[in-house]
Amino acid sequence: MFASLFLGFRILLAWALTLIAAGFLWSGLFSGMDEAPGWIFGLAAMALMVFALTSIVGHVRRVALVADRLDAQTLANRHRRQVELPMDAATAFALLEQVIGQMPRIEHMERSVGTLQVRATQRRADPYGDRPPSRWNPLARLAIKRNQITARVTPGADTSSVTLLFEPDAGAWVDLLLLDEGSNYENADAVTHALSGKVAELRREEREHAARTEAEKELTVARLNLLHAQVEPHFLYNTLANAQVLTRADPERAEQMLGHLIQYLRSSLPGIDQSVSTLGQELERVQAYLEILRIRMGARLALQIDVPEALHEVSLPSMSLQTLVENAIKHGLEPKSGGGTVWILARALDGQLTITVADDGQGISAHTAGTGIGLKNLRERLRLTCGEQAALAMVSNFPSGVAATISLPYTGKAPAPPTLSIVPGVASPAGAPVLPPLPEVPHAS
């Protein structure tokens, strides 16, 4: 209340002093106040004082409605706001420009990207409607017609500071005689609340995006674990079935197979919950797997590995190599009377890594005789683990057998291929194919 009374006293005093000065000027130019036309000045002075008093009452009432409090800050014509935005300067400037541009009755707007400044002019509206007296009342022409909004963005380390200034589109002297009925305070609150709302909306969208990403990640992991669970028992069932047969025919070999199976499980079970392993881990797993198969196939099985040491850390879906080796042996080498060789080769060239498992078995028709669940799962796991650019392709080997190639994007340096090694088994039979450096293999979905 004290602030309102002080504001009223200040405005009335300013008008009184202005009218006294005008009275002296009138008296000097025309005549005294007691003689005609002095009464004209008296009537004009009284009208102006009534106008000043009504503008004070209207301003105080309007500010009380908008701000819900009356003090020197809310009653002022000019308002300054400082807002901290948790974003870079360019984003903050674009957001500020958007908010100011969406304000009603904006007549002109200037922007400077270089200095991060925005200036806008807003036509004032009568907060109580288009009252009839304002159409003909000449005193209404004294009211403030436009407001001005000036904004500047100051870049910071992790945040940007926005300075906002809301004022009448007139000089500071106007504050001594005229009031804006709280329009600039209303603009200040509207812009600051809009900026806060935009920031809250951006943060909400970021949280929703993070939640969606986390949900998609959990779904992907669940699908990978399901596919992994479908692959792992495939080998275990086959091994146990073979051990069961050997128990009756050759107990000693059955005992060796079970011993190797225990060793295989010891190396595999610590990562059973992991859907992704490395190429090096897959090679170790395949070698343990082949030790079990050698008990059954003996000298009929040979393995040649040509994988540079630098590629051992490449990520692969768990059990991926074993799936391809199983297919090569089950559909290619086991049905062949003389057995054969399985090749595992890896090359990195032109941003692409290719890993090939090839055999010199019965060929593509034998490989396609199964259900295809293992290869289908492997393609899906490759897509989920390594992205859409990962692929699995199968082509005929020359002169016999099949070559299955996994293609992955690779950003590392291409290493030199190592010297060919044979692990475990006997040397390749005479005339066995030697694969050239990996050719382009068509991607198969």
Distances (CA, A) of 269 to 182, 261, 273, 341, 401: 73, 12, 8, 28, 32
Predicted pLDDT at 430: 37
* 266 burial type by CB count under 10 A (0-12 exposed, 13-18 middle, 19+ buried): exposed
pLDDT digits (tens, 9 = 90+) for 66-104: 888 888 888 888 889 998 888 888 888 999 988 988 888
Q: Could you tell me the pLDDT band of residue 232, with boundaries at 50, 70 and 90?
A: low
* Beta strand ranges found along 226-379 (DSSP E): 276-278, 301-306, 315-317, 340-349, 352-359
Q: Between these two residues, 275 and 190, which has the higher pLDDT value?
A: 190
Looking only at the bridges linking them, the beta strands covering 160-168 and 315-317 are unpaired
Asked whether the bond before 439 is cis by omega within 30 degrees of 0, the reply is: no
Q: How many CA atoms lie within 13 A of 272 on its CB side?
A: 11
CA–CA separation, 410 and 407 (whole Å): 9
Predicted pLDDT at 429: 39
In one-letter notation, the amino acid at residue 154 is: T
Predicted pLDDT at 371: 52
Question: Residue 72: which residues within 8 A CB-CB, separation 6 or more?
Answer: 3, 6
Q: Cα torsion at 287, 403, 347, 440 (round to 10°)?
A: -170
Predicted pLDDT at 118: 92
Q: Could you tell me the pLDDT band of residue 433, with boundaries at 50, 70 and 90?
A: very low
What is the pTM for the complete model shown?
0.47
pLDDT digits (tens, 9 = 90+) for 256-306: 888 878 877 776 665 555 667 888 888 888 887 777 877 777 778 888 888
Q: What are 265's two structure tokens?
A: 């499980």
pLDDT beyond 90 at 405:
yes
In one-letter notation, the amino acid at residue 383 is: R
Which letter does DSSP use for residue 373 in this model? H
**Main-chain phi, psi angles of 76, to 5 degrees:** -70, 155
Q: What are 302's two structure tokens?
A: 């040979």
Question: Residue 395: which residues within 8 A CB-CB, separation 6 or more?
Answer: 364, 402, 403, 405, 441, 442
Predicted pLDDT at 65: 83
CA–CA separation, 140 and 54 (whole Å): 11
Q: What are 8's two structure tokens?
A: 């009223």
pLDDT beyond 70 at 353:
yes
Type and span of the H or E element at 163: strand 160-168
Predicted pLDDT at 176: 77
Mean pLDDT estimate for the chain: 76
Helix (H, G, I), strand (E, B) or coil at 97: helix
Do the Cβ atoms of 5 and 75 come closer than 8 Å? no
Q: How many CA atoms lie within 13 A of 74 on its CB side?
A: 18
What is the average pLDDT across 415-431?
47
Q: How many CA atoms lie within 13 A of 87 on its CB side?
A: 20
Helix (H, G, I), strand (E, B) or coil at 412: coil
pLDDT digits (tens, 9 = 90+) for 109-164: 998 888 899 999 988 876 655 544 444 444 455 567 888 999 999 988 888 899 99
Distances (CA, A) of 19 to 12, 44, 51, 175: 10, 9, 13, 17
CA–CA separation, 262 and 372 (whole Å): 28
pLDDT beyond 90 at 7:
no
Q: What are 126's two structure tokens?
A: 């009568």
Predicted pLDDT at 439: 37
Asked whether the bond before 270 is cis by omega within 30 degrees of 0, the reply is: no
Type and span of the H or E element at 148: strand 146-155
Beta-bridge partner residues of 392: 406
CA–CA separation, 272 and 176 (whole Å): 81
In one-letter notation, the amino acid at residue 219 is: L
Lowest mean pLDDT among 84-93, 154-163, 380-389, 422-431: 422-431
pLDDT beyond 80 at 370:
no
Q: How many CA atoms lie within 13 A of 58 on its CB side?
A: 15
